[in-house]
């Protein structure tokens, strides 16, 4: 397994897998397969893939430690960058398809609707993480500062989940947010237990 994860083909394969949902959405939009309201479907599905990417990114560390497959760490950064890319497309689709790129209307909507504010806040927090996702940024910041900065991903995940919950609250549909919430609680709970065990007595 380790040799497969370290192979030259592993990262290009992951890259293609991360692009696959976007390719499907583009195809579905071009062939009118997004339902009666294609704009809303596109916005929501891009948001769904943002959360899935974030949750997969957070899964890498516990999966690496539980399986002993240290090579999994080399995929974490790519998953994080793709999460930001899907979040940016989600925001662009909202601003373009839903608001017609009217900046004044978008600003009013962000201020008026809490779930939009939460989503925009999560994107703003992701921005510096994506901007410092390359090796030169790590060297410039220093490893410790870089690690502290990138702990903001936990806040991004919580705020993103709040955005999702409030968005679904309008339709009283909490099943999917509950699944995401349970998975996030598990991922963050594992980190909390590990941190407590590593504290000096």
pLDDT of residue 10: 92
pLDDT digits (tens, 9 = 90+) for 2-59: 788 888 899 999 999 999 999 999 999 999 999 889 999 999 999 999 999 999 999 9
DSSP 88-140: HHHHHHIIIIITTT-HHHHHHHHHH-HHHHHHHHHHHHHHHHHHT-SHHHHHH
- How far apart are the C-alpha atoms of 164 and 180, rounded to whole Å? 9
Q: Is residue 164 a contact partner of residue 54, using CB atoms and an 8 Å limit?
A: no
Q: Residue 118 class from Cβ within 10 Å (0-12 exposed, 13-18 middle, 19+ buried)?
A: buried
Question: Is the predicted pLDDT of residue 201 greater than 80, yes or no?
Answer: no
Q: Give the pLDDT of residue 16.
A: 97
pLDDT score for 173 = 76
Helix axes 38-67, 76-93, angle to 10 degrees: 170
Where in the sequence is the domain holding 149, given as residue range(s)? Answer: 2-198
Whether the per-residue pLDDT at 189 is higher than 70: the answer is yes
Residue 145 main-chain phi, psi, to 5 deg: -65, -40
**The pLDDT value given to residue 135:** 87
* Separation of alpha carbons 105 and 174, rounded Å: 28
Q: Name the band, by pLDDT with cuts 50, 70 and 90, for residue 85.
A: very high
Lowest mean pLDDT among 16-30, 82-96, 186-200: 186-200
Confidence of residue 181 (pLDDT cuts 50, 70, 90): very high
Cα separation of 35 and 25, whole Å? 12
Query: Could you give the CA distance from residue 120 to residue 160 in angstroms, rounded to a whole number?
Result: 9
Number of domains in the chain: 1
This prediction has a pTM of 0.93
Rounded to whole angstroms, how far apart are CA atoms 59 and 21?
A: 19
């Amino acid at each position: 397994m380790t040799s497969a994860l370290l192979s030259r083909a592993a990262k290009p394969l992951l890259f293609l897998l991360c692009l696959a949902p976007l390719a499907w959405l583009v195809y579905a939009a071009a062939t009118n397969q997004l339902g009666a309201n294609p704009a809303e479907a596109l916005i929501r599905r891009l948001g769904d893939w943002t959360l899935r990417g974030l949750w997969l990114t957070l899964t890498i560390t516990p999966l690496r430690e539980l399986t002993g497959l240290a090579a999994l760490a080399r995929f974490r950064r790519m998953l994080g960058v793709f999460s930001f890319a899907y979040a940016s497309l989600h925001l662009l689709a909202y601003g373009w398809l839903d608001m017609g790129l009217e900046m004044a209307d978008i600003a009013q909507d962000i201020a008026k609707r809490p779930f939009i504010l939460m989503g925009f806040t999560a994107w703003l927090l992701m921005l510096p993480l994506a901007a410092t996702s390359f090796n030169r940024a790590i060297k410039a910041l220093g490893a410790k500062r870089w690690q502290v900065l990138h702990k903001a991903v936990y806040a991004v995940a919580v705020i993103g989940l709040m955005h999702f919950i409030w968005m679904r609250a309008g339709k009283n549909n909490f099943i999917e947010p509950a699944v995401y919430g349970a998975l996030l609680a598990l991922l963050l709970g594992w980190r909390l237990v590990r941190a407590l065990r590593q504290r000096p007595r």
